[in-house]
């Protein structure tokens, strides 16, 4: 019997040692490799976040990189200034509708590029969206429009919480009337 106990004790000690080693190896979550984020994206810090409300500074510049932003050979982002220079070399940024003359392009052996209207970059676009949202919200507030069913429900819940300690006036009136009737009968 003693032998069995000794064996158990030995096993427990080994387990303790293993647990201690695991604790030493444990890397806190925020230092680990970025895991799959909630949207199932591999690198959560690269995807365009689904924002609710405020635009945070660390998010504002993380728009989806336009196609030319990634140097495919290196697979990494090219700094904005370099990108802009490259675009100007290609004659895109030189002024709307103007394009590099075809002679300039001949030695590269590619057809003249059709100038395209420049889309506003991510930060501008998100800023515009935010301003529009705020305006809409202000208009709704001015018109006393409750926004959405969930807000209605939430608002009602808060209202009930605030007035829960008051007896409802109708109930109070009925009870008072009943009491008076009882008093009159007695």
List, for residues 48-73, the tens digit of each pLDDT value: 555 454 444 444 444 444 444 444 44
d(C-alpha 78, C-alpha 39), whole Å: 26
pTM of the model: 0.18
List, for residues 34-47, the tens digit of each pLDDT value: 454 455 444 445 55
**Could you state, in order of their start, the residue ranges of all structural domains in the chain?**
64-147, 154-185
Structure tokens at 148: 């959405």
**Residue for token digits 């490799």?**
33
Does position 174 have pLDDT exceeding 90, yes or no? no
d(C-alpha 125, C-alpha 84), whole Å: 18
Question: What phi and psi, each to the nearest 5 degrees, are found at residue 43?
Answer: -115, 95
Average pLDDT score over residue span 21-30: 65
The dihedral through the CA atoms of 61, 63, 66, 71 has a sign that is positive
List, for residues 118-159, the tens digit of each pLDDT value: 666 766 777 888 888 888 877 776 666 655 555 556 666 666
């Amino acid at each position: 019997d003693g032998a069995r106990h000794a064996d158990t004790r030995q096993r427990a000690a080994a387990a303790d040692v293993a647990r201690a080693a695991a604790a030493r190896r444990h890397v806190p979550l925020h230092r680990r490799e970025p895991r799959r984020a909630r949207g199932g994206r591999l690198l959560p810090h690269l995807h365009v976040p689904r924002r609710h409300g405020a635009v945070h500074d660390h998010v504002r510049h993380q728009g989806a990189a336009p196609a030319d932003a990634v140097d495919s050979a290196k697979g990494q982002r090219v700094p904005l200034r370099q990108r802009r220079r490259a675009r100007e070399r290609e004659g895109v940024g030189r002024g709307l509708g103007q394009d590099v003359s075809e002679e300039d392009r001949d030695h590269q052996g590619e057809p003249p590029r059709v100038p395209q209207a420049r889309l506003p970059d991510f930060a501008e676009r998100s800023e515009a969206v935010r301003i529009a949202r705020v305006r809409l919200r202000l208009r709704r507030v001015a018109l006393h429009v409750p926004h959405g069913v969930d807000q209605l429900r939430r608002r009602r819940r808060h209202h009930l919480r605030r007035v829960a300690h008051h007896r409802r006036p109708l109930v109070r009136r009925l009870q008072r009337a009943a009491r008076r009737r009882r008093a009159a009968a007695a």
